[in-house]
Amino acid sequence: MVTRPDRLLLDLLREDLGLTGTKKGCERGECGACTVLINGKAVVSCLIPAFKADGAEILTVEGMAEGDRLHPLQQAFWEEGAVQCGYCTPGMLLSAKALLDESAESSVEEVKRAISGNLCRCTGYTKIIQAILAASEKIRKNGSKVPRE
């Protein structure tokens, strides 16, 4: 697709592609709600010009589940009660996924650090951290590549 040089990735995803699962919370890279994965790395899409992602693999929350099968992180967030208002949830999921894709043996401290750029005003992070650790354990048990429910 063709886009303007000043078009931000977040706006391209939300407005041009209709992928509104990625959330806009501050437009200054301060809240993490717009986190997506570019070639597996978690980035805040509100600070990235869209053209910089040309040719890259971009994962948004819409791409996490495979059909009806939730990603283990989504499943764990659901089961642990890690979702409240839901606005930080897509960004949280993707920050967590970047961590678990790198290593499914993360400690509590590593999990906290991985989501420290994602603000949440509802949950106090406690159940989010529990969910990420639970998903991590499930992924470890099932092997890193076939963890789907």
Partner 1 sequence: MKEPYDIMIVGQSVPRVDALSKLTGNAIYAGDISFPGMLHLKLLRSDRPHAKILNIQTEQAERHPGIIAVLTYKDIPVNRINLGKPDQPVLCDEKVRYIGDPVALVAAESAESAEEALPLIRVDYKDLPGVFSPEEALLPETVCIHENDNLLLDRTVLKGDAEQGLKDSEVVITNTYRTQMVEHAYLEPDAGVANYEEGRLTVWMPSKYAHADLRELAGVLGLAVDQVRVVNTTIGGCFGDKTSLSPGYYAALASLRTKKPSKMVFSREESFIGSRKRHPFIIHYTTGATREGRIVAVKVEMIADAGAYAASTPGVLVKALIHATGPYDVPNVFVRARSVYTNNPVAGSMRGLGVPQVAAAHESQIDILAETLHLDPFEVRLKNGLKPGSFTATGQLLRESVGLAETITKVKEEISRRGIPKASGSKRYGWGTAAMFYGIGAAGRPNPGRSVIEANDSGDFELYVGCGDVGQGSSTVLAQIAAEVLRCKTEKIRVIVGDTDCCPDSGVTAASRLTYVVGRSVQIAAQGLKELLQRSAASLIEIAPEDVRFEKGFFYPPEAPRRRISVAQAVKRLKEEGLSPRAEGVFDPETKALDPKTAQGSPMATYAFATQGALVSVDVDSGEVEVLSLVACHDVGRAVNPAGVTGQIEGAVSMGLGYALMEEVLLKNGRILNPSFSQYFMATSLDMPETQSLLVEAEEPSGPFGAKGVGEPALIPTAPAILNAIYAAIGFRAKELPVNPEGVWRFLRSVPEKGTDDPGATPGVKGSS
Q: Which of 43, 74 has the CB closer to partner 1? A: 74
Q: Which of 41, 85 has the CB closer to partner 1? A: 85
Q: Is 3 left (phi over 0), alpha (psi -120 to 50) or beta?
A: beta
Could you tell me the CA-to-CA distances from 97 to 4, 8, 16, 26, 63 in Å, in that order?
Answer: 30, 23, 25, 22, 12
- Give least dist CB 142 to partner 1, A: 19
Euclidean distance between CA atoms 115 and 143, whole angstroms: 23
Q: Which of 28, 145 has the CB closer to partner 1? A: 28
Euclidean distance between CA atoms 85 and 131, whole angstroms: 16
- Give least dist CB 48 to partner 1, A: 18
- Phi, psi of 38, deg, nearest 5: -110, 115
- Give least dist CB 102 to partner 1, A: 17
Q: Which residues bind partner 1 (CB under 8 A)?
A: 14-15, 19-28, 30-31, 33, 60-62, 64-65, 70, 74, 77-81, 83-90, 93, 111-113, 115-129
Q: Which of 24, 55 has the CB closer to partner 1? A: 24
- Give least dist CB 117 to partner 1, A: 8
- Give least dist CB 82 to partner 1, A: 8
